[in-house]
Amino acid sequence: MSSDVKVSYPFESFNARYLNPSQVASSFVPPSQYEQLVKQRHTVVVGPRGSGKTTLLKMLQGEALEAWQHPFANEFRNKINYTGVFIPADRSWKAQIDALGNKKFSEEHSRLFGIASFTTHVLRCFISAIIYRVHPPQTEGLNSHRRVVLSLEQEALFVKKLSDSWLLPSHVPSLIGLHFALATRLSKIKILSSQESLLDEKDRSKRLADEKILHLSFLDCIVEAMDLFEDISKERNTKWALLFDELEIVPEQIRDTVIPSMRSVDSRILFKLSLSPFNANIQTSVDSVMPAHDYDVLQLWYSSKEDGYPFCHELLRLMLKAREIEDHSEDVIFGPSEFDQSKKEYENHISHYSPGSRQYERILSLAKKDQSFNRYLQEHKIDVDKIHMIKGSERASDIRKIISIVVVRDEFRKADNPTADNSDEILNIKNGKLRSRKDVHIYGGVKSLFAITEGNPRLFIGMVDRLLDQRQSTDNKVLPHIQTAEIKNAERRFRAFLKTIPCSSLKGNQPTRGVLTLIDIIGEAFRKNVITDEFTPEPKGSFIVDSRTPPDLLKSLGEALNAGALVYVPDRDSDIVINSVREKRFRLSFLLAPNYCLPLTLMRPINLSSLLPSSSMQKSLF
């Protein structure tokens, strides 16, 4: 969300949805998926909210490519030999389309108006792309991308012919006039629906059948426009990429046209679609197309946190550069993370576990207060005092694996013997094992920030930008308590969003299934597994939606996934776009980890049904 202030610092506004192409380009860091996306193939980009789908699609537009300043920009500009037509959609517009006819229309008539509205929108976006192509850039110093020259006469001829074909008036023989005429058509569609809602239903089908503007096919219209453009500009086989953002929002029948078209559409058209991971109604269409042959699927989330680190690292580097603090390393600015020590790091620097080191103190501290951990150490013949002297990569790996669990247990678990703990810090006791502390800073550190933001550019830019605003002027460090506060703020806002996602209403005895309520139940169960239960080096902290999971919960799980509260952990050959969450594995977003005292680690799976309260209790809980 941006204020009215003009964006001067490229990372100031972090939601790409309403940034113009050059603003998107100014802060664009190409993730590895961009290389795949630019190919001349149909592509489906899949990711939860904020994962950068919109940014990626917008970076296929000519204006964005022209404005993009990046070492790789020229290479990509050369690869992209098509014109991107960005077609946005959002929740509020969907609500407006759904409301046409004030619920007085049959499903068929509602669909007709929805398709006509969206078709008009697509055509208008197409004309925007043509306007870009035929008008010279307004700013000097841009790297021209796929511009062409049309004389005024050629433009007028194109507009005249296209207006006839698209059933539009051609009062003003210019592309701008055509653009405006399409906006007016949307207004007409609204008027028509309002009028129809007041008329008798009896002859509605006949009346609507006579309204030609309700029956245009967007693909036919675009092919006609492409043909005309080639005729007039003398270009041949020009390719156009239709960039449908948030395809799940567009009317079902448009979706059902777009997805199968990837198999048989005019070869000059490419489809680049963005989708949320869970789509209950899309899979049928998707199934009609063979993924490996007809289109590529790009996954925009990282089920393993380390996979997102290179992207976050590069994004952070550019953010630091934009603020002219390049000479400080990210580790210095944000400090090290308690949860991340690579295997290599561990093997090379075993002294991290020497007496006095943070890790050593953690292990020692937990061993003093957690009898089950002590038993584990004894059973595995690990002497805490000699832990830094352990030899052999296997044993070293054992220690590395448990350190994340040790950190959270030490931080959040009450001592089995209270005298061993600082009782002043015990504020709240739950299950007799949990303590809550005033100042918990274990989630700070640069790698933890990478993990908590899930490689989600919107969240990362928003959070890190605010943190950098609060860095110390003397040494550019962002203090742990500031990082903790910002993480808590982001988590609170995220929870507020999750709470706002509407769920089905109460019907008889059927309980409502709020997304946040469900997430809280799962998170609390994980907290118990990880913190209060007996120590185990590999506690269960992810889940599989098993066959005993009540069907009422499936939709909420899908919504939690699309919202980014859950992260899908697909098997190697699993579908990326799913229409059912059954038998799939998920973990909680690391952004929610502090709320449930969880480590920033992908933990072992457990059946979801075993985490849920008994069915009789569910009704009162949800």
Catalog residues that contact another protein under the rule CB under 8 A: 1-5, 15, 17-18, 88-93, 95-96, 98-99, 101-103, 121, 124-125, 128, 183-184, 186-187, 190-191, 194-195, 489, 492-506, 512-514, 516-517, 622
Smallest gap from Cβ 567 to another protein, in A, equals 18
Distance, CA of 287 to CA of 240 (rounded, Å): 25
Strands of 188-238, DSSP E: none
The nearest distance, CB 247 to another protein, in angstroms, is: 15
Considering the complex, state which of residue 426 and residue 490 has its C-beta at the smaller distance from another protein.
490
Shortest distance in whole angstroms from residue 103 CB to another protein: 6
Complex with another protein: residue 429 or 496, whichever CB lies closer: 496
CA 170, distance to chain mean position in Å, is: 41
Identity of the residue, 194 or 284, whose beta carbon is nearer to another protein in the bound complex: 194
CA angle 198/200/206 to nearest 5° reads: 110
Measured distance CA(57)–CA(34) in Å, rounded = 9
Nearest to another protein of 191, 617 (CB atom): 191
Write down the least CB distance from residue 168 to another protein, Å: 14
Q: Which is nearer to another protein, 216 or 498 (CB)?
A: 498
Q: Whose Cβ is closer to another protein: residue 9's or residue 18's?
A: 18
CA angle 394, 395, 401 (to 5 degrees): 90
Smallest separation (angstroms) from another protein to the CB of 606: 25
Q: Which is nearer to another protein, 250 or 403 (CB)?
A: 250
Tell me which DSSP letter residue 531 carries.
Answer: I
Cβ–Cβ < 8 Å for 458, 591 = no
Q: What is the DSSP string of 44-99?
A: EEE--TTSSHHHHHHTTSHHHHHH--STTHHHHHHH--EEEEEE---HHHHHHHHT
Q: Which amino acid is at 596?
A: Y
Give me the least distance between CB of 493 and another protein, in Å please: 6
How do beta strands 604-607 and 585-588 pair?
unpaired
Closest distance to another protein from the beta carbon of 283 (Å): 25
How far, in Å, CA of 413 to CA of 372, rounded? Answer: 12
Q: How far apart are CA 483 and CA 499, in angstroms?
A: 24
Contact between residue 512 and residue 522 where contact means Cβ atoms under 8 Å apart? no
**How many helices (H) and strands (E) would you count in the chain?**
26, 9
- Phi-psi bin for 237: left (phi > 0), alpha (psi -120 to 50), beta? left
Q: At what angle do helices 107-134 and 91-98 cross, to 10 degrees?
A: 140
Nearer CB in complex with another protein: 513/540 = 513
Task: Check: CB of residue 189 under 8 Å from CB of residue 97.
Answer: no
Are the beta carbons of 527 and 595 closer than 8 angstroms?
no
Q: Choose between 95 and 176: whose C-beta lies nearer to another protein.
A: 95
Please state the closest distance from residue 99 (CB atom) to another protein, in A: 3
Q: How far is the CB of 89 from another protein (least distance, A)?
A: 7
Chain center to CA of 527: 25
